Amino acid sequence: MPDRKSPLAPFRNETFRVIWAASLISNFGGLIQSVGAAWMMASISSSANMVALVQASTSLPIMLFSVAAGALADNFDRRKLMLTAQAFMFVVSVLLTVFAWQGLITPWLLLTFTFLIGCGTALNNPAWQASVGDMVPREDLPAAVSLNSMGFNLTRSVGPAIGGAIVAAAGAAAAFAVNACSYFALLFALFRWKPPVSPRTLPREDFGRAVSAGLRYVSMSPNIGKVLLRGFAFGLSTSSILSLLPLIARDLVKGGPLTFGILLGCFGLGAIAGALMNARLRERFASETIARMAFAGFAISASVCAVSGSALLTGAVLLLSGASWVMALSLFNTTVQLSTPRWVVARALSLYQTMTFGGIAAGSWIWGTTADTHGAEAALLASAVAMIAGAAIGLRFTLPELQSLNVDPLNRFSEPDLPLDLKPRSGPIVILIDYEISEEDIPQFLETMTERRRIRIRDGAGQWALMRDLENPTIWTETYHVPTWVEYVRHNQRRTHADAANGERLRQLHRGAEDPRVHRMIERQTIIPHEYERFKQNVEMH
C-alpha cells in the first residue's frame, strides 16, 4: 500500500502530531468529566429524562452556535479561536469542580455547567476541524479525520472506566478536577503552534454576510445536503445508546459507576476498531453501503441492550455500536471537507455539526422521555426501529461517493482596470454576459446554464436570470447582481477547478468569433439636480 494511503500518514506532520496528542489528553479529561456528570445526575435525580438531558445539554450548544462559530473560523485566526474556547472551558470546569466539592450542585445547575462546556466545544470544533486541512496534505485528509476519531475513542476506551473508578472512589468532584487539569496540554500546544498566515487581499466579510454565505453555499450544494440529512437521522436515532447508558448500567445490568465506565469503554474500543477499518472499508464499499452498515450495526446493538441483563453481552454489542459510530461520522465529515473549498469549509462543517448534534440533542430528549414513560427497554427498541428507517432514507437520498474534488481556487480572475474610481463598497453591481448559441446547441446550453445558475448563486450572486434576444435569437444573456464591487471580486475568486468544466462547456457552445462578452455595470438611480451635490458627498464618504 502506498505510504500516502497509510492510516498513520498524517503523523508525519509535527504540528498535527503534537496537537493530536494534546487533544488526546483533553479528550481524556472530558470523558472523565462526562462520566462524573452523568452519574451525578443519576444520583441526585430520579428522572430518566434528566439523565438523558446531560447528553443533550452538551450537544445542544453545538446545534445552536456552530454556524456562528464556523463563520468566525472562516474569517478570523483559527488558532486564537481555539485558544479562546479552551480557556473558556477550563474556567467553567474549575467552577464546576468548586461547586461540586462544596455540595452545591443541583440538577439544573449541573445542566447549566455542561451546557456552558458544550458552548466552548461549539466554538472550538469548526476551527479545529477546518485547521486539519491546513495541517496535512489533501490526500491525507481522510486519514487525519479518522485519526481524530480514533484519538477521541482511544480515550473513550479507557477514560470512562477510569472515570467510573474515580467517581466510585472520590466522587464526581474529583472527576471534574481531572478534566480541568487536562486542558493545560492543549493550551500549551496551541500557544506553540504558529500557523502560516495567508495574505488577505480582500476585506473580511461582516458576520451576518459570512453566515448567510455559508448557509447559501450549503443549500446550493446537493451532495452536502444529503450528508447533512443523513447526519441528522444518524444522530437522532443512535443517540439513545449513549444518552441512556447510565440507565442501562444501573437498571438493566444492575451495575454501578464502574460498570457504566466499562460499558462506555467498550463503546470506545469498538470506535477505535472502526477508525482502523475505515480505509479498508472505503476501498471495498460504496459510501452509502458503509452508512447503511453503520445504521444496521447500531440497530442490532440497541436491540440487544434492551433485552440483555448481562454486562458481558451488553459490552460485546457496544463494541459494534462504537465501530458503527466512527464509520458513519468520519465518512460524513470527510465527505463534507472534500466537497468544500477552504474559504467556506468551517461553515460547511459547522452546519454538518449543527444537523448531527441537533439530532443527538433531539434524540436524547425523545429517548429520555420515552424511557421515563415506558422504560429504557422500550426506548431502545423504538430507537432501533428509527435506525432502520435512517438506513432506508438512503434509498432516496444516496450519499455521494467519497472522492476528492479539486476545490482549490481557480485563480484565473484578474480584477479589471476601470475608468471609474470605484470604492470597495460601491454598488449594486450588475453583470451581463452575452453568448451566441446555435439552434441545435440550445438544449445542451440550457442544461449547462442550469449548473451555472447553481454555481453563481452558491458563490454569492443574486437575481440570476437568463434572457434571449427577441430580435437576434442566437444571442443569450446571462445576468446576475452582487451588492458591491468587493463582493463581485470575492464572487469570482471563489471559483474552483471543479467549476472550470462548466465554464469550458459554455465557451465551446459559444459560436462568436471572440469570447463571450462581459458587461460590468453599476446601478444608479436618477436624482433631481438640487440633490446632486449631497449625493456626490455621500458617495465620496463611502
The CB-side HSE value for 58 (13 A sphere, CA atoms) comes to: 21
Question: Would you say 479 and 465 are in contact if contact means Cβ atoms under 8 Å apart?
Answer: yes
Q: How many residues does the chain have?
A: 542
Provide the pLDDT for residue 61: 83
C-alpha cell at 470: 427577441
Residue 425, C-alpha cell as written in the block? 463598497
Give this prediction's pTM.
0.76
* Side chain identity, residue 6: S
What is the structure's pLDDT at 149?
72
pLDDT of residue 410: 78
Q: What is the pLDDT of residue 2?
A: 42
Q: Which pLDDT score, from 0 to 100, does residue 9 have?
A: 75
Ramachandran assignment for 403, one of left (phi > 0), alpha (psi -120 to 50 degrees), beta (any other): beta
pLDDT at res. 3: 45
* Residue 482, SS3 per DSSP: strand
- Which of 278, 288, 329, 352 has its CA nearest to residue 130? 352
Cα(154)–Cα(150) distance, integer angstroms: 6
And the C-alpha cell for 467? 434572457
The values of phi and psi at residue 421, to 5°, are -90, 80
Q: Give yes or no for a contact between 86 and 22, defined as CB atoms under 8 angstroms apart.
A: no
Task: Enumerate residue ranges in the chain where pLDDT < 50.
Answer: 1-4
Residue 534 pLDDT: 66
pLDDT digits (tens, 9 = 90+) for 476-528: 999 999 999 999 999 988 888 888 889 999 999 999 888 899 999 998 876 66
Number of helical H runs and strand E runs in the chain: 17, 4
Spatial distance between the Cα atoms of 213 and 117, rounded to a whole number of angstroms: 28
Q: Of 133, 28, 45, 42, which Cα lies nearest the Cα of 408?
A: 133
Residues 6+ apart with CB under 8 A from 396: none
Amino acid at site 460 = G
Per-residue model confidence as pLDDT tens digits over 184-216: 989 998 888 887 766 666 777 888 888 888 889
C-alpha 215 chain-centroid distance? 12
DSSP H or E stretch at residue 445: helix 442-458
Give the residue carrying C-alpha cell 472499508: 281
CA atoms within 13 A on the CB side of 229: 20
pLDDT for 216-252, tens place per residue?
999 898 889 999 999 999 999 999 998 888 889 888 9
Q: What does the block give as the cell for 201?
A: 487581499
Please list the alpha-helical segments (H only) found in 14-106: 14-44, 48-75, 78-101
Could you give the CA distance from residue 396 to residue 344 in angstroms, rounded to a whole number?
A: 27
Dihedral (CA of 316, 319, 321, 324) sign: negative
**Which residue in this structure is represented by grid cell 447503511?**
292
